[in-house]
Structures are given as C-alpha cells and as structure tokens.
Amino acid sequence: MAAAGGGKDETWSGRAAFILAAIGSAVGIGNLVRFPYQAGENGGGAFVIVYMVAVFFIGLPVLMAELYLGRRGGGSPVAAIKRLAASEGASSAWGMMAWIGMLASFLIVTFYSVIAGWLLYFMVYMVGDLFASVGANGLGALFGPAFVGREADDVTGTFGALLASPGTMILYHGIFIAVCTFIVSRGVKGGIEKAATLLMPVFFVLLLVLSIISMTTGNAGEALNFLFAPDLGKLGAQFMNGEILVNAIGQAFFSLSLGSAMMITYGIYLSRDTSIPSSAMTVAAADTSVALIAGLAIFPVVFQFGLPAAGGLGLIFGPLLLAFQQMPLGGLFGIAFFAMGVFAALTSAIALFEVPAATAKGDFDLDDAERSKRRFMGTLLIGGLIFVIGVLHAFSQVPIGSDGSGGNFFNEWKPFGNLPLLGGKTLLDATDTLTGSVMLPLGGFLVSVFAGYAVTQSSSREELGFATEKAYQRWRFLIRYICPFFVGLILVWGAVLAPIIAMLTASS
C-alpha cells in the first residue's frame, strides 16, 4: 500500500542527517537543566532507573508513532493527520491533535527563546570577563578561575541584574529568534539540516570536554554514586507515592519532544528507505546518553562546591557561577558550558519553529513555488509573532522590589486570575505550565490512541517495517495499552491532581 500522502515533500538528505536533526530537536535545555534538576529532586540514581524505563517503554513507542504518522500522511502536520485519518476511515476531527501540537510548539518557542537569550547573554558575558582577566593578568588567566577579584554577591547578582534589564533580555531574545527565523526560512536541507550537522558535532565535543573537566576537577565519586548507585529502598518508597513515576515519565516525554507535533513534522521529511524503528531507537539512546553525560558535567562541580543538586535554572545562573570562580579553567569552562546550552537551545527551537512553519507552507494542492513562497513569508510572520510575545514574557520576568519598584503591567498581570493550575502565574510561567502540563501530554495521549486504535494494523505494520512480527506486536501492545495509560496519568496529574493538592495545601 502506498503512503496516504499523494504529493512530494522535501526530504532529509540521508539517515545520518535526519538522526542529527532529530537528536538536536530532542536535546535542549531540558537535558542540560531539567534532567539534573529532576534527578536532584527525586533521589539521583533512583530517578535515573525509572526515567530510562520510561524513555524506552513509553517515550520510544510514541516517538515511533509520531514519525510514522508524519511520513505516511505527508504534506503539512495538520494535513498529514487529516489525510491519514480519511484513508483509515476515521474522523477528520483527529486533525485537532496536530493543531494542539502546533500551537504548543509555537507557544513554547515564545518563552524558550527568552531563556535561550539568557544563555546567550551569559556566554557573551563570560567571554568579556575572560578577555578582561587576560588583559589584566596575562595569558595565564586562561587556565585560572573566572571572575577574579570580584565579590561572591556581585557574581551571583548577575542574573538578577539581567532580569532587571528588560531591554537586555529583549536584545538577546531578538538575536536568538532572528537566527532561528533565518535557519527555518531556508527550508529542511538548506536550513535545519545544515544547522544540525554543524551544531550537533560541536555540541557533543563540548559536552564530552566539559564532563571530563568536571570529573577531574570536581567530586566525581559522589556524582557517580548519586547518578548510578540508587538506594533501592528509597526507590521503592518514592515509587509507591507515585511522584517519581510521574516526574520520570514527564521528563522522558519532555526530553524526547513528544506531543508537540515536532516529530510528526520531522517524519514528513523522512525518506521511505529510512527505518523508523532503528532511527527512533538511535535518537532515544542518544538523547538519554546526553542527559546522563550532562549530569556528569554538572554534578561533580555541584558536589565539589556544596551547591544544591536540585537547583534548576537558579543553579545555572547563580551558584554555578561561584563554582566557575573557584575552579581551574573556570572561565573557559563557563564559556563552553553556556555555548553548549545555546547550541542545544537553538537546535530545539528551530525544530519547534518548524512545526508552525510547515503548516504555513500549505499542503500538496499547492505547487512547489507557491509552497516555498508561503514557507518564507509564513516563517517571517511567525518569527515576528514569537518575538513580540517573547517581549511580553521578558517584561513578565522583571523582579518587583519590596518597595514596589520595578513593577510593570506584565510582571504584575496574572492573565488567568485564580484559575486552578494557571492562576497567580505571570504570562511566561502560565505558558510554560499550560504547554508542559496540559498540551504536550494531551497531544501525546491523542497520538497513542490514534496510532493504536484509529490506524489499522496493516498500515502501521507496513510503515514501521519492524524486522519481526514479534517486535511489531510488542510495539502495538505498548502504544495501545501502556502509553495511553501512563501519558494519561501525566495529564491527569499535571492538569487536575497537582492543582487540587496545591489548593488544599494552601488552604490548610
């Protein structure tokens, strides 16, 4: 049986290019910041075990499903799902699944680019500090610590000073989203693929170098013990209360970029001779490896200098700077660390950006010239909208002083009032919560149900091309029963139970 899509799309130049682009889309701030934070919050090695199980038994089947849905449908993300639903005799309402994913991708980029701008700012900031140090102390400063001669409060106050300067945040957010817009406007081969094949090898080199420096200058033993020697008794206790399970599945889902129609979009550009199961396995394994190696790049320094293991973004932009001030090669380490973060954020952001851009270019009813024109104009329009909304996000993060100074409409505005889950949050925080706790798990749940029940066995078997029937039946069992249940659990927990528990806790 031929693919449901009747037209022709631009495709990746080869399996290696697709894998680099897919890994780049999955590897982002979530691996560098969210994974260490979740590991720190949930017992280190205990969390790692549950996370790896979640990746390969929940995340991987959904990843395969998204890729095959995109390739079999073709065209644009929404059109692909509608076309596939029609070919399978299912309702065209399934197209809402892609619309939810596309909207989630768009909303995520609007605040993701602001956070990426912070990373870009700190990379430039540390380059300036290193040049100043070399100018004052000679080339030997290259091998010494960062921020020589500065007080600790001055160093850790850098992030607060950035937040208090919305103009600076907007400048770096604007630079970042302009680069994303340029790359996406050039299409799959000329833009996204070229960026991934250039950035990802550099990213991997930086990650390995940083992990080696961190392991040799930090407390490697405690970091290894924390990540890879779980307390099984603690694991059992945490598993029973359910929180570690929810957090691990959520992290696996977030890390693999599922539920956002991103992998559906990348699947559209996948050639027929590329094996989806083996490619998806490679992406999942690489993404998990990056998360673990990122832990080895951060935790030795964290434990060496007594920093909080569950610091998240607060750790990256605050206490970790003090570690750079006390460690050899601190300046170079800091520059490489933030450069790595910028590269990871860029490859993820362009993948998210591609989802609405692919929708803007239209479907097979348009000729290639018209689709190319619509992609270019649509990308410029989408990039402009992302920039404008990002400006609002930046203003929402300006801190308000105890005397009320620094207040502006957007850092005081709570757009959802007292609504459960989103109430009391600024625009950026509410958008983050809405996409992460509702839209992504809802999208992943719908993908599981659609791929497992609406699409026939003959279609999914043909498109996936598993080596054995047993392997296919294993995937089908997971996508029909295991994935909907556990992804649904994430949705219910994040959108319903957690807000109720928070309200009960606050009232008591």
Q: What is the share, in percent, of the chain residues with pLDDT greater than 90?
A: 62
Stretch 148-162: mean pLDDT: 90
pLDDT at 230 over 90: no
pLDDT for 217 = 87
The pLDDT-based confidence of 29 (bands split at 50, 70, 90) is confident
Structure confidence at residue 1 (pLDDT): 39
**How far is the CA of 145 from the CAs of 223, 296, 325, 356, 491, in angstroms?**
22, 20, 5, 43, 45
The tokens describing 268, both together, are 């559209």
Residue 364 pLDDT grade (very low, low, confident, very high; cuts 50, 70, 90): confident
Walk me through the domains of the chain, giving residue ranges and CATH numbers.
Answer: 15-507 (1.20.1740)
Give me the residue label for tokens 């889902």. 253
CA-to-CA distance for 91 and 288, rounded, in angstroms? 36
Confirm if 341 and 35 have CB atoms less than 8 A apart: no
The reply to whether the predicted model has a pTM over 0.85 is yes
Highest-scoring range by mean pLDDT, 40-49, 290-299, 397-406, 469-478: 469-478
- The pLDDT tens digits of the residues spanning 258-298 come to 999 999 999 999 998 899 999 999 999 998 998 889 889 88
Long-range contacts of 50-54 (CB under 8 A, 24+ apart): 50/235, 50/239, 50/244, 50/245, 50/248, 51/248, 51/251, 51/252, 51/288, 51/291, 52/288, 53/248, 54/245, 54/248, 54/249, 54/251, 54/252, 54/253, 54/486
Percent helix, percent strand, percent coil in the chain, to nearest 5? 80, 0, 20
- In the predicted structure, residue 120 carries a pLDDT above the cut 90: yes
Reference 249, options 484, 502, 44, 20; nearest CA is 484
pLDDT beyond 90 at 437: no
State yes or no: pLDDT of 182 exceeds 60: yes
| Mean pLDDT across 79-97 | 94
